[in-house]
Amino acid sequence: MEYSTYGRHVVMDVWGVSFDMLNDVHYLQKIMVEAAEKSHATVLSVSFKEFEPCGCTILVLLSESHLSIHTYPEKEFAAIDGYTCGKDKDPRLAIDFLIDLLQPKELFIKTLIRGRKEIDIID
């Protein structure tokens, strides 16, 4: 079997998300796994780190790559990214699911198309 090098990497910064939501590592783990499942990706594992006095990092390792979030609750900010290899899994589905749940006041998204020599950026 030959595999494609094509991949989509969606990066997103969200602002204006509640402190409590961004500081709840258990809730965020749950929705990150649900988001990965929405993109039809295969979840292999979930790792997280809670920081003092607040914030967390969560990594959902996928067979197709990863989905991650790094939170700064005190600034109502999170950096989120999702990358999937191949054309049959779509990380944007995961990102859109997270937008619906987090309800940020502002968001900034870029999609990178990778694995084709040049990295294309889609606004």
- The residues that are catalytic are 65, 70, 85
Give alpha helix (H) positions in the chain.
19-22, 25-38, 91-102
Q: Please, which residues bridge with residue 75 across strands? A: none
